[in-house]
Structure 1
Amino acid sequence: YFCTYEYLYHQKQMLEDQRRMVSYYNAIMQNKHHFHDKVVLDVGAGSGILSIWAAQAGAKKVYGVEATKVAQHARKLVEANGLTDIIEIIQSEMEKVELPVKVDIIVSEWMGYFLLRESMLDSVIWARDKFLKPGGALYPSHARMYIAPMYNDDAVKKNAQYQETIREWTGFLAETATNYGVDMSCLTPTFCHEQWQFFVQSAQWMDLPSQDMVGKPCAIKDIDLNVATVDDYRTISVPFSCPINLDSQVSGFAGWFSTTFEGSQSAPAKQPHVVLNTAPGTGYTHWGQQVFNFYPTIYVMRGDVASGTVEVTRRKDNQRLLNVKISYVIRRPGDGDGPTPEVGVWQIQ
C-alpha cells in the first residue's frame, strides 16, 4: 500500500486532479481566519501540498505526517517555498507519531475509491482522538457514499472477454496435451474462477457521463468525521431504493462519494461550504466511480424501482481493500413481493 504512493508519478496524478486541488485550496483559503495563528496536522501529507496551503493561509505551525519516502520530496518542496520555519514533515505512520502539542485543525486527503478503499480514514480518526483540541476542525468534516443503477455496454464487453478467455484456455489445453503430452485440465476450475473474478467480480474504475445513469442516486452512508468511530464504517449493511428515471436497461450499479468542508461548531467554515463531489457527470477526478457490473442486463421502465441491500466490508486478506455485496431486485410499484433478489459480489482492488 505505502510503496505505491512514494513515486512522484502517483503524486503527480493526484496533483493534476483539478477538482481535488481546487476543492481543498478553496476550503483552506476561504477560511484563512480559522487557520491564522493555528497549529495544523496534515495526515498522509504526500507531496506536502495541503501543508503548504495551510502555512500560506496563516498557520503558525504545521505537522505533515507521511509514511512513505515521498516525505523526502515534501521536505524539498517546503524548503523551496520558504516554509521550513512553519512546516515540519515527519516520515512515519500516523499511529507511531508523538507531537509536542495538540492541534487546532486536521487536514487530510484520505479518500479512496468508493470513499473507503485504503482505510486511511482510520488514521484520521486515530489522529483526531489523540491530537485534536476540543472544538477543533477537520477538513473535510463530512463524507457521504452513493449508489445508483446505470447502463452502458461494459458488462456485455466484460462477459464477452471472459467467454473468449475460456475458449482460449480450452485451445491451450488441447495444444499442451497434443504437443507436450501433459493433461492440464485439472486446473480448469481454478483458471475459470480466477478469470471470473477478474472480468465479472471486480469493480471497474470509470469516469461515467451523467447519461449512463438510469436511476436516482441513493445515499447509503453518512460519516461525520467529528464524531465517527472506525466501527461506524468498518462494515456497512444498509437497504437502498432507487427510482428508475427512464425506459432503458440496467447493467449494474455505480458507486461514488462526496465530501464537505464544514469546519466545526466552534469554527464553522464560510458558507456556501466547499463540496468535493465525485458523481457521474460532474467532471473528472482520479477517484472516478466504481462500477459493479452484472450480466445479463435488465430491461426497465420509468417508474420502476431498484431496491435491495448493499454491504461494504473489508477483505480478510487485505484490510485496505473492499468487498461489495449488492442484493437487488427491480420491480414496478405495487407488484407485491416480485422476483427473488439477485445477489452480486465484487472486489474493489
Structure 2
Amino acid sequence: MASLPNGAAAAGGPSGAPVVDKEVDFANYFCTYAYLYHQKEMLCDRVRMDAYHSAVFRNAHHFRDKVVLDVGTGSGILAIWSAQAGARKVYAVEATNMAEHARELARANGVTDIVEVIQGTVEDIELPEKVDVIISEWMGYFLLRESMFDSVICARDRWLKPDGVMYPSHARMWLAPIRTGLGDKKMEDLDVAMDDWGQFVEETQVYYGVNMNVLSKAYRAEHEKFYLKSSIWNNLHPNQVIGQAAVIKEMDCLTATVDEIREIRAQVMLPISLDGARLAALAGWFDVHFRGSKQNPANEEVFLLTPSLKVSKGDSVNVSFSMVRSKENHRLMDMEFTYELHEFSGKQHPAITTKMYLE
C-alpha cells in the first residue's frame, strides 16, 4: 500500500468535543494523490499491478463491448487496460488534478475514443448511462484505512447495472499471532525519547528558569501512542507466524454497505503452533479476489502487543477485535484488541486489552 497523508485537523465544537474540518480532511487526503511521484510508488508495486492486469485480461469477456467505470483512476492505467481489453466506453473518474495526466496518458496510448476522464468525485459527477463493470484500486492499510470503499459503494449504488461486476469482487481481513523484535526496538526508541525529554527539562530549568517537568506525563503518553500504540508497516516473513491465522472480516463488494464497514468487530481463536515462542504482536493483512482470478495477497499490518506473552505449541489465544472510525478523522481507524492466553495445560491467563491507532 502507498504512504498516506496526515489526518484532518480537528477543532473544538460548541460542546468542546472535537469536530472534523471536512474541507481540510478533503485537501489532506486528495493532495497526496495529485503528485506523479506518489502514483509512481503505486505503479511500482508489482503484486498490485500484476493482480489487476491478470484480472482484466484473463477475464476480457467481462470488458469486451462493455461500459466500465474506474473509480479514482489516478494515472488512468486501469482505465487504459479496460479499453485495451475491449471496453466500448470507460469513464475514468479522478478527484485531483492527476486527471489531466490521465488524459495525457490516454492520448499517448491511443484510447481517447474510449476513455473519458472526468475530474470530480463519484458522489458528485453524473454519467449518461449505467455501467457493466466498476474497477477501482481502493484498498488502504489493513484494507479499510482511507475509507475510499465508501466512494466505490456510492458508485456501485448509483451506476452499476443489476448484473454488473466489481473488480475486485471480494475482500478479506486476516489476523495472525507472530513473533517479532519490533516491540523491543520501539521500547528502546521510547526510552531514548524520554531521556532526551529529561535532558530538555533539566536544561530549560538551568538556562531559562522554567520547570517543564509538569508536562512529562503528557509527553510520555504522546510518545507511547506513537511508538507502542500505532500500527507498524512491516514485511512479514512466514517463520514469524507462530499460530493459525483467522479471517476477521469478509466482504462481498456487490452487497457491502457503508454501515457494514463503519465498525468491524470480531472474536477469533488463534491456536499456537510453535513451542517456546513469544507472542509479541498480531499481524494484520488483507487479500482481495477478482472474478475468475487467483486471490491477490497484499501487504501486512503489525499490531504490537504490550506486554508480549510467552506461548507454546498447543496453546490458544482468544482475541476480541474492534475497529471504529476515528471521531477526529473518519479516514483513520481506532482499534482495540483484547487477547487472552489459554495454555494447553488448561491454565487461563487474565485478558489484556490494548488500543491501537491505524495511522
Length-normalised TM-score, structure 2: 0.90
How far, CA to CA, are the matches of 2:256 and 2:307 in structure 1? 39
CA shift, 1:177, in A, is 0.3
In the other structure, the counterpart of 2:354 is 344
1:150-299 equivalences under 5 Å are: 150-247=178-275, 248-262=277-291, 269=292, 273-278=293-298, 288-299=299-310
In the other structure, the counterpart of 2:12 is none
How far, CA to CA, are the matches of 1:333 and 1:175 in structure 2? 53
Identity value in percent: 46
How far, CA to CA, are the matches of 1:48 and 1:54 in structure 2? 10
How far, CA to CA, are the matches of 1:75 and 1:322 in structure 2? 34
CA shift, 1:70, in A, is 1.1
| SS of alignment partner, residue 253 of structure 1 | strand
How far, CA to CA, are the matches of 1:187 and 1:312 in structure 2? 30
- For the Cα contact (< 8 Å) 1:201–1:347, is it kept in 2? yes
CA shift, 1:31, in A, is 1.0
- For the Cα contact (< 8 Å) 1:159–1:295, is it kept in 2? no
Matched, 1:93 2:93: no
Which amino acid letter does the alignment assign opposite residue 87 of structure 1? V
- Match 1:331 to one of 313, 321, 342: 342
Matched, 1:133 2:154: no
Matched, 1:124 2:144: no
- For the Cα contact (< 8 Å) 2:325–2:332, is it kept in 1? yes
- Match 1:57 to one of 71, 75, 85: 85
- For the Cα contact (< 8 Å) 1:308–1:341, is it kept in 2? no
| SS of alignment partner, residue 274 of structure 1 | coil
| SS of alignment partner, residue 180 of structure 2 | coil
| SS of alignment partner, residue 95 of structure 1 | coil
* 5+ residue gaps, structure 1: 263-268, 279-287
| SS of alignment partner, residue 78 of structure 1 | helix
Length-normalised TM-score, structure 1: 0.93
CA shift, 1:334, in A, is 6.3
How far, CA to CA, are the matches of 1:20 and 1:224 in structure 2? 19
- For the Cα contact (< 8 Å) 2:306–2:354, is it kept in 1? no
| SS of alignment partner, residue 206 of structure 2 | helix
Tell me which of the two structures has the higher relative contact order, counting C-alpha pairs closer than 8 angstroms and 6 or more residues apart: 1
How far, CA to CA, are the matches of 1:339 and 1:39 in structure 2? 57
- For the Cα contact (< 8 Å) 2:322–2:337, is it kept in 1? yes
How far, CA to CA, are the matches of 1:9 and 1:339 in structure 2? 49
How far, CA to CA, are the matches of 2:216 and 2:350 in structure 1? 31
CA-atom RMSD in angstroms: 1.1
In the other structure, the counterpart of 1:283 is none
How far, CA to CA, are the matches of 2:150 and 2:346 in structure 1? 43
CA shift, 1:120, in A, is 0.5
How far, CA to CA, are the matches of 1:34 and 1:148 in structure 2? 35
Give the number of aligned pairs.
Answer: 330
